[in-house]
Amino acid sequence: MARPKDAFVPELIYPSSVDDAAAELARLGEEGEPIAGATWVMLGPLYRRPTKMNFVAVGDLVELKELVTNGATATIGAAVTHSQLVDSIDRDGPLAVLAEAAAGTPRGIGNVATVGGNICVSPYAAADLVPALLVLDGQVEIRDGEAARSVALGDLTDGSPGAGALVTGVRASAISEGSRSVYERITVRASGEEAVASVALAVALDGDTVGEARVAFGSVEARSKRCAEAERALIGKRLDAEAAAAAGEAASAVLEIMGDADAPADYKRRVLPGLMKRAAARIAAGKGA
C-alpha cells in the first residue's frame, strides 16, 4: 500500500559523537528526544506521555557509557545501564544504595535501561535510580547545543532537562567514604514489579548516633524527592527502630502522597514508617558500608 503524500516519517538519527547528538537535538527542539534503551518509548503511552517521533540514538556513544568510581564518588555516563551499576558498584561501599536501586530492575530490562533514561522519565514516580541519586547529591550534566551546564537532580523540573537538551551523565557523591547507604522498596506482588513506595537512606554515624542523614522517597509523590523532615528526625539519634519510625511518620505528615492503580495514598502513607525501619535496621546491621 502506498504511503499518503502527507504521511509523517519518523526520523532516527545516529550521531557519531556527543557533539553531534547535542547539535541534532538542538535542531529538533520540541520535535525530538534522545533514545538509548527505548524502555520508556514502550511504557510512555501507558502514562499518557506524548511520544516524540524524531529520535537521536545515543545508547552506543562511547562518551556516555563511562562509569568511574573513586571511593565516595562516581561519574556515570547517561548510557550506563542498570546492569552495569549492579555489576560495578561495591555493595559494601558508600555508593551501595545505587547498586541496590538498580537491582530492582529485572535483568532483561536492566541490560538496556539507562541512567539517563531513568532520570528523565516523566511522569513516572517509580524510577528506582532517582531516590538513590538524590541521597548521593546527584549533579546532572546537560548539553544544550554547544553549551554545557550542571544541575542538581532535585532541581530538574519533572526530571526533564528541557526541549532540545541532552543529559550526558551524573556525578554522585556519598556523604563520606565511611558513610552507609541502602535502598528499600515495597511492591504489590513480585520483586520485579514497580515499587509502590521506596526509600533511599544514607547516613554518616558519629559513634552510636547519626551525624548526617539523607532520605529520599520514590513512588510516593509525583516525583522522587528528598525529605528534610525525615532527615532531621534521624540526626542526633541512635539509628534504631524508634528513630526510623519517627522519620517515617515525619515524612508521612509532609509529603503530598498520591495514590495509583497499585496502592491508594493512605496505604502508602501507612507503610513509610515500616519502610524506614527496614532501611535503618539494615544499616545498623552493617549493610551499605
**pLDDT one-digit tens code per residue, 10-22:** 688 999 999 999 9
- 188-284: CATH number: 3.30.390.50
* 19/108: higher pLDDT: 19
Mean pLDDT computed over 273-279: 97
- In total, the chain counts a number of residues equal to 289
Residue-level pLDDT at 107: 85
| Alpha carbons 281 and 111: distance in angstroms, whole number | 30
The model's pLDDT over 121-140, given as tens digits with 9 standing for 90+, comes to: 866 788 999 999 999 999 99
The amino acid occupying position 112 is V
Q: Does residue 1 register a pLDDT over 50?
A: no
pLDDT band of residue 209 (cuts 50, 70, 90) is very high
Alpha helices for 113-240 (secondary structure H)? 115-120, 129-135, 228-234
pLDDT value of residue 49? 63
- What pLDDT, on a 0 to 100 scale, did the predictor assign at position 20? 97
Let me know: does 97 contact 72? Beta carbons within 8 Å: no
* Cβ-contact 32, 41 below 8 angstroms: no
Q: Where are the domains of the chain?
A: 188-284
- Cα gap 180→201, rounded to integer Å: 8
pLDDT for position 190: 60
Question: What is the spatial distance between Cα 178 and Cα 159, in angstroms, rounded to a whole number?
Answer: 30
Q: Output the pTM of the full model.
A: 0.92
Residue 202 scores a pLDDT above 70: yes
- pLDDT tens, 149-196? 999 999 986 778 888 999 999 999 999 999 999 999 998 876 557 899
Quickly state the pLDDT bin for 288 (edges 50, 70, 90): low
* Three cell numbers, residue 252: 508521612
Pairing of strands 147-152, 73-77: unpaired
Q: What pLDDT is stored for residue 226 in this prediction?
A: 97
* Average pLDDT of span 141-153: 96
**Under 8 Å between Cβ of 37 and 114:** yes
Question: What rounded mean pLDDT belongs to the chain?
Answer: 90
Q: Which residues contact 81 (CB under 8 A, 6 or more apart)?
A: 37, 110, 111, 112, 113, 114, 115
28-74 pLDDT, tens digit per residue, is 998 888 999 877 666 666 666 666 778 999 999 999 999 999 999 99
3-class SS of residue 18: helix
**Contact, 175 vs 214, CB < 8 A?**
yes
Q: Which amino acid is located at 179 in the chain?
A: S
